[in-house]
């Protein structure tokens, strides 16, 4: 019997762990799955609603670390995780993505000599000012099994000298969740509730510190939005970090005064899928949304200068536009004028990644 502990903490972890837990539960003769939540995200809209939407079982343990500086949050997770992991003696610890909980989980496990599997290994933005880039590099340096979503990730890891025997290309786990959820998203009444017509609105999400933590940058992005919302409705579900910065910088009233800008709380997984899959254009600084829009052939403008997911640009619908207001406007209007974009679904983004991951762990145990 393999005891596999999965560690999750923040919103973008949940859609990655859901299909893995389901797959592990399909193999009860061989696998005992245990789920530990660090508590990095804790609001109903950032946490509980995802567990419900994605049918993730209640965590076996919640460390309830909450928010803090990077050192505080990472340190707290490490301290709170050490004893339970030591007591549980799992065969593997599985970490996903690139958030602080990912790196903290990998560090604690590897120091206890527990094998670490990293799902979504090998992605690199080459921008070390991004906290996630540090988390990716550290996690990949100590993981025993690096499960990659795309061939570029394998290349990155080879270049960093990771032994090829530790690396396995398994495809994109988020797409498992995406495909499984499409039917429920079609049944969502979100558009009706919000008074939106399919294809007649854009969606924006924004939460990267580089975009929202400086007044000038955030105000510039809002300036671009002011022009876009005069042409087409823009729906903006606001991350708590961004909401706090808008208030702090005195920009909330400016945003609220735009008639074509619809501000909402963060949405659950199914409602958000229903929203962007019916949109004309997505403006975002998220990582996962770049992939989801590529899989669904929805145009995506990424408000960053780099991406750790280059395949969404070379094969999919994504374009990097940075945070310059003029460029954002120009690119957005160009997309609105153009027809349906072409997309090529990257290799192994086929909805079967969870099974390949659990097979890989079983084979190496
Ligand atoms: C984290 C991840 C980021 C991911 C994002 C998705 C890291 C380094 N960053 O960023 O990669 O894209 O999640 O959401 O791990 N807050 C709440 N309620 C919550 C959670 C957070 O109000 O449930 C507020 C707090 O004021 C907190 C701030 O948001 O200080 C930032 O939260 P934090 O977990 O530090 O980082 P995110 O910006 O959410």
Q: pLDDT tens digits, residue range 18-27?
A: 999 999 999 9
| Confidence label for 57 from pLDDT (cuts 50, 70 and 90) | very high
Domains of the chain, each with CATH number or no CATH:
2-171+349-363 (3.40.50.2000), 182-337 (3.40.50.2000)
If you write DSSP's letter for every residue of 196-215 in order, what string do you get?
Answer: --TTSEEEEE---HHHHSSH
In angstroms, the CA 284 to CA 239 distance is 12
Structure confidence at residue 342 (pLDDT): 87
Q: Which of 143, 155, 173, 189 is nearest to 14 (CA)?
A: 173
What are 118-148's pLDDT values in tens digits?
999 999 999 999 999 999 999 999 999 999 9
User: Whose Cα sits closest to atom 16 in ligand 1?
Assistant: 240
Q: Is 98 helix (H, G, I), strand (E, B) or coil?
A: coil
- Residue 88 in contact with residue 33, Cβ under 8 Å? no
> What band does 81 get if pLDDT is binned at 50, 70 and 90?
very high
What are φ and ψ of residue 48, in 5° steps? -55, -40
Tell me which of 63, 66, 73, 240 to substitute to probe ligand 1's pocket, judged by most ligand atoms within 8 Å of the beta carbon. 240
Question: Which entry of 37, 41, 207, 239 is annotated as an active-site residue?
Answer: 207
| pTM above threshold 0.95 | yes
C-alpha 126/C-alpha 106 separation (Å) is 21
Is there a contact between 63 and 38 (Cβ–Cβ < 8 Å)?
yes
- Indicate the top mutation candidate among 9, 11, 15, 41 to test ligand 1's pocket, ranked by most ligand atoms within 8 A of CB: 41
Q: How far apart are CA 144 and CA 190, in angstroms?
A: 42
What is the pLDDT averaged over residues 243-261?
98
pLDDT at 108: 98
Mean pLDDT over all residues of the chain?
Answer: 98
Q: What percent of the chain has pLDDT over 90?
A: 99
Query: Model confidence at 339, in pLDDT bands (50, 70, 90)?
Result: confident
49-65 in b/e form (b: 16+ CB < 10 A) is bbbebbebeebebbbeb
As a residue count, the chain comes to 365
294-323 average pLDDT score? 98
239 is catalytic: no
Question: Which residue owns the Cα nearest ligand 1 atom 30?
Answer: 67
Bridge partners, 234 (sequence order) = 202, 261
pLDDT score of 209: 97
């Amino acid at each position: 019997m393999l005891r596999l502990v999965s560690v999750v903490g923040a919103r973008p972890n949940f859609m990655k762990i859901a299909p893995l837990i389901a797959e592990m539960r399909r193999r009860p003769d061989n696998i005992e799955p245990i789920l530990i939540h660090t508590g990095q995200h804790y609001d109903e809209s950032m946490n509980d609603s995802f567990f419900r939407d994605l049918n993730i079982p209640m965590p076996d343990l919640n460390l309830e670390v909450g928010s803090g500086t990077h050192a505080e949050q990472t340190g707290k997770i490490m301290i709170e995780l050490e004893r339970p992991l030591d007591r549980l003696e799992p065969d593997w610890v599985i970490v996903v993505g690139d958030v602080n909980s990912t790196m903290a989980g990998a560090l604690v496990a590897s120091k206890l000599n527990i094998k670490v599997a990293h799902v979504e290994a090998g992605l690199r933005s080459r921008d070390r000012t991004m906290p996630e880039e540090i988390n990716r590099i550290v996690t990949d340096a100590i993981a025993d099994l690096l499960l990659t979503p795309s061939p570029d990730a394998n290349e990155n890891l080879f270049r960093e000298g990771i032994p090829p025997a530790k690396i396995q290309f398994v495809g994109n786990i988020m797409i498992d969740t995406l495909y499984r959820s499409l039917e429920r998203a079609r049944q969502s009444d979100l558009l009706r509730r919000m008074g939106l017509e399919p294809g007649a609105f854009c969606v924006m999400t924004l939460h990267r510190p580089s975009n929202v933590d400086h007044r000038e940058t955030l105000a510039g992005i809002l300036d671009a939005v002011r022009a876009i919302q005069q042409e087409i409705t823009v729906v903006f579900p606001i991350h708590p970090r961004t909401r706090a910065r808008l208030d702090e910088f005195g920009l909330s009233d400016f945003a609220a005064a735009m008639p074509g800008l619809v501000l909402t709380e963060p949405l659950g997984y199914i409602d958000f899928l229903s929203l962007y899959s019916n949109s004309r254009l997505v403006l975002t600084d998220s990582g996962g949304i770049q992939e989801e829009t590529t899989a669904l052939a929805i145009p995506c403008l990424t408000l960053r200068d780099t991406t750790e997911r280059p395949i969404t640009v070379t094969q999919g619908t994504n374009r990097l536009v940075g945070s310059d207001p003029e460029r954002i406007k120009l690119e957005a209007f160009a997309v609105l004028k153009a027809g349906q974009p072409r997309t090529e679904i990257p290799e192994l983004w086929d909805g079967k990644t969870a099974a390949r991951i659990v097979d890989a762990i079983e084979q190496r145990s």
